Structure 1
């Protein structure tokens, strides 16, 4: 007579973690009133004893649900909305639908709670789309049971599967393009500094300037991915004489920037050259058409879908970290530095 191993229950997790079953339940349900250190200990105990939340257990019994959950903080940014569109399109071609949860609070508890809500709604895997650097600091821990893929992070030491465009390559192409045109006074309008992409783009801009003996200190202006922040920066920079070029962290910022510069009597690119990032569909139809960095959202969707669905099929989550290339698209918003 063969022996069957008993499935792990909450009591097993509580015993290994040295906490109450109620605390285990709070962690499994993503409740906020659990200290970070305790949450981490409980999740590690779940993995050790092989405990799986109920939603994942049902998935194992009933087979594939042909549904993928997506968690994000916002759909208001160009990058998030287009990435979600690419992921949804790619999954649909493979016969999968998408359940979306907007996690308004950028906290580890909020993310964990969203994860557990999706786990209870019969999904086969989860894709995280996020702006803040929450997961890059290893603060959000997911109970075992469902494969998770994160789009927008290259923190390879703490995350199983990640996909992102090469932020450093894109920012380097943009900044080096301006340096190659002879610009010495190159400013940057940044995205929110709590996001991986914004930080990487600014850090790379600084590095390229330093490599070429150029100054970056005091030449970065905080932004928030919106045209409004670019417009405010344009009004400020248009009143200065120590700027001939600007690398904007995304195309929306660049669009607002160009308007602000014009209202201050500056011509683009005659007086100030502008480079964006994203290659948004409208960027080629601005005046002047915008020089920008293109990132292939459809490729992000394809690679993310392939990685996650393979993990669903095999039941294993590999340490797979895909960094996709970017490309500089040169249009008429950049020109050689003006003579002074």
Structure 2
């Protein structure tokens, strides 16, 4: 994880000023000066948490990774909201976990609920213009299914794949499998309309003599907007193989929700958590273990991509 672009106060002030001017924020120069050090401190603190997570026992990794992501998200928020945090309401987590059953508890079946106020709803709206999340509930299994790097594990354990990775052609051209429209139970034309509505001016449809669906994606970012997701290890874009409620959630929000619940479990459900780690007795453990390894690498990269490559958003 490297945030070398943001090691200098002078560089950060210029960067924030440009961001504020692009968002037509008044008094951009003064606000960029006021925020350059808080921005740098958020990044530094976030990096420290991730570094410690890499060196710490597995049992406390969710807590460190969650708070590391929180600090990195706060740096992102300062690029779009120079007054952050404007009120104390945005400092809460913005998510709640349901009361756990002591017997037969399964993490994959657990769920979280998005609250009206807090960091979760605030960064979703400010960074991704995603509104009306209040009251939404998401199961852990549904969220994990939206992490493309976990797809091989899903395929191994259940024989089911949740993603269709796109074939890359020369020129940053990607081919969408013809069967995707069938899986979505819509026509190819409707699929094009669906993707266009989510990615105005970022997808270009190309003619193909073999009648395959080809697109030219503008840019190569790990946090390209959903339903596209980027597999950081295979370096390929993919699309969910079926339409689900979580298919349009931004990747950072998915990682935030999963880390929130895992951090709560590590803090307050110690008996279940330690028993899971020591016995690895059910399917929860390999998915949790794999996800924590993935998010430790991918979340900071998504933050960096947001900070350095989101001029169009």
Q: Relative to total residues, which structure has the larger helix share, 1 or 2?
A: 2
Structure exhibiting the larger radius of gyration computed from Cα positions: 1
With the length of structure 2 as denominator, give the TM-score of the two structures: 0.24
With the length of structure 1 as denominator, give the TM-score of the two structures: 0.23
